[in-house]
Amino acid sequence: MDVAILVFLIFLNALFAMSEMALTASRKARLQVMIEAGESGAQQAMDLHDNPT
């Protein structure tokens, strides 16, 4: 049981790390183009890029 919880927490940590890397690696100009194209979630990504807290 403890091993399963540990594995789950490691995968959860990996998910958060991937999300953080995606936001920090995203280029503002590309996000702006995506917003203008009407891509869903682009505005939320831009908001997080501008104010990550």
Per-residue tens of pLDDT for the chain, all 53 residues: 899 999 999 999 999 999 888 877 778 888 899 999 998 888 988 888 888 77
List of long-range contacts for 16-20, beta carbons under 8 Å, 24+ apart: none
The domain locations on the chain are 2-50
This prediction has a pTM of 0.58
Length of the chain measured in residues: 53
Q: At what angle do helices 28-36 and 42-50 cross, to 10 degrees?
A: 150
In the chain, the amino acid numbered 19 is: S
